[in-house]
Structure formats: structure tokens, C-alpha cells
A and B are shown apart, each in its own frame.
Chain A
Amino acid sequence: MASALLQTIDFKLHERPAPDLLPSGIARFDAVFGGVLRGCVTDIFGPASSGRTSLLFSLISEATAREEFCAVVDAGDAFDPKSAAASGVVLNRLLWIRCGGNAEHALRATDLLLQAGGFGLVAMDLGDIAPATARRISLASWYRLRRAVENTPTVLVVVERAPHARACAQFAVECARSRVKWSGAPGCSQLLRSVECAADRRKPLRPACAEMEAHALR
């Protein structure tokens, strides 16, 4: 009886389809990683001046160029519209939520945006939040975000100093500064030209590294 019942039930395990990718618009990054995963949490972390925000702006500009709507949940109120516009972000397709340094508000706003749906990319910028505060974000909150973004075409990008999303991030990239290029002789008519950064994949654990170069605005 039981065997007959088992035969009638289809126990085939269905393979999860590979998630779509949103290209970053940075040729070398896309050549190595293909872009960032839709329906997943992407963690971009690194110290100050490591190219995290440049990578984020490039992702947003790529998404807005595809006529998608994006949202930046700015926990530390550090978003610079002028710099974003110069990076190619279409500002009227961008929702900016300023949380004034409150990480809890940022989590709440991100959750609400993901529940509402319809955004191509939602970025939670915790880059200027004190490490102690970022560490206090519970794993349950991260899982909630992961569940909210799952099976949606939205990219959830978290920008941080250290990888706090831990197990909840399906794709983690560590940014590090390689070289700062200045023009002119030291002490005389110098100009900041560009910053060379390296993006190391930390998750999934398959070593890969992409070199990026971000040019200064001046």
C-alpha cells in the first residue's frame, strides 16, 4: 500500500535554476563574475576608499540604464547625488531613503521595499555605520531580507566595512585598494587621477579576483 502510494508521488528533486545576473558595467568585473545575482543578497565590503561605492554606483547606473527602478537605503546619509549622476545613475529612477545613521531604520526600510517589489536593485549602504552597530544586526534580520528577496528579480546589495551578512549573502565581494594614481610631481600641481581596486570573491568559495579602476572626477 505504502509502496503504491510512494510510486504515485513524484519525488524528483527539481534543480534550482541558475539566477539571472545584473552586469555591473565594469568590463573586468563582468568578465570574471558575470555580474551580481538577482534574487540574492550581494555583500560588497571593504575599508574606506576601496572602491565599494564606485562598484555600487556602477551597478545602479547599469540597472537604471535598463529602465529599472532602484533604491538606495542610506543608513549613514553618505550618498552623493552629484557623484552618482557623474557615474551614470539616472537620478529620477532612483529612490533615496536617508536614515540619518540609524541602522534599524535602514533594515526596516529595506524590508518594506523588498516586500513591495518592483525594484531592479535595492542597495543598503551600511558603509559609514559603526562596526559595533553593524555587528549587532541579528542574523534573523539578515535571513528575513534574504527570504524577502528570494524568487524575485531584485538584486539586494549590502555595502559594509566587514562582512556582517555572513551566511545570508549568496555572493560576497571584498574590495581592496591596490594603487592610487596621482599626476604631477609631489608637492607641486598634483592631481588625483584614479584608484585601482581589486574585487576578491569571498562567497561562493571559488577564488576569483577582478581588477577595477575608478577615475577621479576632477
Chain B
Amino acid sequence: MFACIHAPGEAERLIACAQDFSPILEQTDADTVTLDIDGLEHLFGSVHDIAHAIARRAGIPVNVAVAANPDAAFHAARGFSGTSIVPQGDEAKFLASLPVALLSPSEETAETLARWGVRTFRDLAALPDLGVAARLGEEGVRLQLLARGDHERPLVPAEAPQRFEEEMELEYPVELLEPLLFVLARLLGDVCRRLEDHSLAAIGLRVRLLLENASQHERSIRLPVPMRNPRVFLKLIELDLEKHPPAAPVVKVTIATDPAKPRTTQNGLFIPLAPEPEKLELTLARIAKVVGEENVGSPELVDTHRPGAFRMRPFGVKQQGTGRNACPTQLAFRVFRPPVAAKLQADFLSAPGIRGKIVRQAGPWRTSGDWWSADPWVRDEWDIELTDGALYRIYCDAQTCRWFIEGSYD
């Protein structure tokens, strides 16, 4: 059985009222809510009692109709004031007096029906089925079924906006991280449980701390893959808060997550070794705490001729790399960061830790670029071999006329 509540301009109140009776509800239009009331007779008694209980709970004048199918209840609620019970099997008779305009036909169909003199549900229900199908098509058949109260369909439940957020006001300001973590652990446990109930995971975490000085300390953690492990979340937040501690004692904690579909993986015997994403994220956070966040990542070459240009991007295990090109072993280069300032006198090179006579050299290669920007470069490069056999790349900065060792071939 289905109940329908109708009141113009009171959608939110109607939804709240319907939620008190059933979790399966549909906002059928802007002013009408339909809900499934199967099983409520054990709590409220007959369908009359259920309808009256709904009308009372609404707290405002509403039309309530109960019927065996949602559309019959919908039309009855919109067409009759007060409480209506549509008898099962006699829907056509009950709805007969309602105007055909309640069915919201298309403009063309409404005009045709008006020309035929069809004004009420009764008129439309009485028309021959085949004739309606031949003349009005699919829409006509549907409208006729609605007019007879025979249209069966499942409810399309309205999904309430899901917010996976928990907050807690503290009895006294918390200054140390450790007691704060106890609070966070509990909130994270609750959030993760709710995520699990909805078969979801989190792709991002936001921690908002209201401080004693009325300011807010907000931290966001972006996760490489959806996760739902409160212990991992807690450790990530702990590492982040250790790096970025709040400026004052905390009086209120809010945890919010960005829900996402959980990660699904297909394991196989021949899938190569890869770090477990949850473990990797924790490890990277721990390493970032030691060496600095900007020093951990995957290198990426930049589309420029500037020597030594690269950028770091977050390391993840999702990327699909291409296979190695079949190339002979290349001579690797080791970069000195920053380049080592050197003195070059005739054919003798000296720099901290590097001294020797140049026995072989190749160059110069002049490179320049970014002359249109504030950071241009112009340099002449040489490959040199010193007496000890070591190979270096040196360059003369044309702007400062100074010599540097860029790195060594190894």
C-alpha cells in the first residue's frame, strides 16, 4: 500500500513527515510525496488510522490519500481534499470524477481529448483500448491506465544528500595532540562505519579544528585511492597535524570525508609486485615527515630545454607505464645540486673535492633559453676528462662568466 501527502509549497515539511513513517519515499512532484506504508498497520492499525496519523504528524492542512498503487494515491491526494482511502479494485470508480488535466497530458493530447469531449477520468477510462492506442499512441495508453487507477510502478526513492561528517565539541580546550587523537579516533570510527553501511569509501579527508581564539585550523588530506580504514586515516591525520599543528588549543573537532566508490581490484597470479595503496600512503607520509613533502614523489620531465628541469608529482601505484625501449646501455649522469663553482686556469680544474688536469675535452655546446622571462640562461658546456679518469660536464655561465661543474658521468 502507498500513501501520498500533498500540500502546496511545503515540500521539505512533507519529506520530513514522510521520513517519520517510512524510509522508502518518493518526491513525486514539487508539492507531493509518496511513501510505502506496507507493514505500518502493525503500528498504527487500519489504513484509515495510518492516513490520519500522517495528516496529524504533518502539522499543517494536507491531503492524504492511500491506495494500492502510487499513481492512484497520487491522483487522489491531488484531486480530493482531506483524507482519502482508495478501495483496492475500485480505483477507477473512486477516481472517476477527477478532471483529466490532473494526468498532465501533453499539449497536443490535451487538445485532442478536449475535442473528443473527454473531461474526466471516467470519460477517458471508458474509451476503447485499441482505439486510444491507435489514435493517441503510447501516451494515450499510459494516461488511460492512470485514469483507471491500474498503472503499476515501483517507487523511485528520493536519496537524501549524504554527508559523512562528524563533529564533537570538547568540554575543555585540548592543547596536546595525543588527547586530540583519542577524539579523532572515535569520530573516524563513526564516519567509517557509516561509509561502510553505505558501501562507500573516502577519497579525501577534511579536519576542521575550532580553536580557543575563535579561529579555524583546517587540513585536507587527498588520498590516492578510496580507503575506509580508520587506523590509516588516524595515522595520516596524526602525521599531518604533527607537521602543521594548530596555533591554539582546540575546542571543537569536525571530520568530513569525500565519499567515493570503494576500490575494486582483480588479483592474479601474474600481476607484478606493487605496494599496497593504504600502506604506501602511510609510508610516504612518514617519509615526507623526515625529508620534507616536496622531496617525495615521482619525477616528471618538463617540456623545456633548461638543463636539469623536472617537477615532482605525487607518487601513486595506478599509473600504467610503458615498457622499456630496447636501447643500448646509456652513460648515466649524476647531477650536483647546486652546481659546484669551479676555477679553471689554463687546463687545470679545481673545485671543492675535485682537482685535476683536463686531458680530454669535448665542446663547447651553447644553450640558451627563457630570454623572454625573468630567469634566462645562456651557457657553454664541455664534457671533460681529468687526469684521474673522472668525467664531468662543466659549463661557463655567459651572464656571469663563471665556471661551474654541473655533474659527473657515471
Contact = CB atoms under 8 A, between A and B. Distances in A.
Interface of A: 25-26, 47-54, 56-58, 61-62, 64-69, 77-88, 90-100, 102, 105, 108-109, 112-113, 115-120, 127-128, 153-154, 177, 180, 182, 184, 186, 190-192, 194-195, 212-218
Contact of A120 (B272, B360, B390): B272
| Most chain B beta carbons < 10 A, residue from A50, A87, A100 | A87
12 contacts: A47-B388, A68-B272, A77-B337, A87-B330, A96-B296, A97-B296, A109-B287, A118-B274, A118-B276, A120-B273, A192-B391, A212-B329
Interface of B: 272-276, 279-280, 282-284, 286-287, 290-291, 295-301, 308, 310, 312, 315, 317, 319, 321-325, 327-337, 360-362, 365, 383, 385, 388-391, 407-410
Given A83-B332, A190-B361, 14 more contacts: A26-B329, A48-B390, A54-B410, A90-B321, A91-B298, A91-B300, A97-B291, A108-B290, A117-B275, A118-B274, A118-B276, A180-B385, A190-B362, A216-B330
The residue in A49, A119, A194, A213 that gathers the most chain B C-beta atoms within 10 A of its C-beta is: A49
B274 A87 contact: no
A64 B337 CA distance: 26
B331 A195 contact: yes
A195 B273 contact: no
Contacts of B325: 88
Contacts, number: 213
A61 B323 CA distance: 9
Contacts of B275: 69, 116-119
A195 B409 contact: yes
Contact of B331 (A78, A120, A215): A215
A118 B273 contact: yes
Contacts of A119: 273, 275
Nearest to A184: B362
A91 B336 contact: no
Contacts of B296: 95-98
A2 B329 CA distance: 62
A26 B326 CA distance: 11
- Choose among B280, B291, B334, B391 the residue with the greatest number of A CB atoms under 10 Å from its CB: B334
Residue among B286, B312, B335 having the largest count of chain A Cβ atoms under 10 Å: B335
Contacts of A153: 273
A53 B322 CA distance: 22
Contact of A215 (B322, B329, B388): B329
B329 A92 contact: no
B298 A92 contact: yes
Nearest to A175: B410
A117 B330 contact: no
B201 to A, nearest CB: 20
A180 B389 contact: yes
B346 to A, nearest CB: 14
